[in-house]
Structure 1
Amino acid sequence: MPLYFFRIRNGRYSGCADQASEFADRDLAWKEMTSVCADMAAGIARKLQENSEWNMELLDEAKEPVFRIRITSETFE
């Protein structure tokens, strides 16, 4: 089974999981990523600063991005 890694970026912070997750295919990897992101979304939104971005990526075995979900805040004045 293919191995995947989760990486989260929030401003200057960027952290990648040391432990890989196994998923049978890309569809299952996407479903898990959206599920994990959904569980985290409320907490992220409460702490999000103006004009900032948070993102979660799912990386392949070579740690290259496969999927990315972004939450972005923008101020228009």
Structure 2
Amino acid sequence: MPRFFFVVADGRNMEIQNDGLELPDRDAAWVEATTACGELLRDLDGKLLPGDQWCMKVKDATGADIYLLEFKTSAV
């Protein structure tokens, strides 16, 4: 099974969230990414401020970007 890596950047830090997950395919990596994003954003518990950015990149075993999920905030 292919291995996918999930990299989170919060505007201040960038880190690999895990040592990679073996998943059946890109579709399964998408489901994992969207689920993890929801949990991670919830865990911020109000700490995301206007002007902050948050994103997750999904990479394959070669390091190529597969998906990018972005969350940007701004004051209106």
**Shorter-chain TM band:** 0.7 to 0.9
Q: Could you say which residue in structure 2 is the equivalent of 1:22?
A: 22
Counterpart check, 1:40 vs 2:40: yes
CA distances 1:53-74 after superposition (whole Å, capped 9, x unpaired): 0001111112221111111101
Q: What is the CA-CA distance between 1:45 and the residue it aligns to?
A: 6.1
CA distance in 2 between partners of 1:62 and 1:33 (Å): 18
Name stretches of at least 5 consecutive residues in structure 1 with no aligned partner: none
CA distance in 2 between partners of 1:45 and 1:63 (Å): 31
- Percent identical across equivalent pairs? 26
Name stretches of at least 5 consecutive residues in structure 2 with no aligned partner: none
CA RMSD of aligned residues (A): 1.6
Matched position secondary structure for 2:62: coil
C-alpha spacing 1:66/1:12, structure 2 compared with 1 (3 Å): same
Count of residue pairs the alignment pairs up: 76
Counterpart check, 1:65 vs 2:65: yes
CA distances 1:21-41 after superposition (whole Å, capped 9, x unpaired): 111111111111111111222
Matched position secondary structure for 2:6: strand
Structure 1 moving runs of 4+ over 4 Å: none
CA distance in 1 between partners of 2:7 and 2:51 (Å): 21
CA distance in 2 between partners of 1:73 and 1:16 (Å): 23
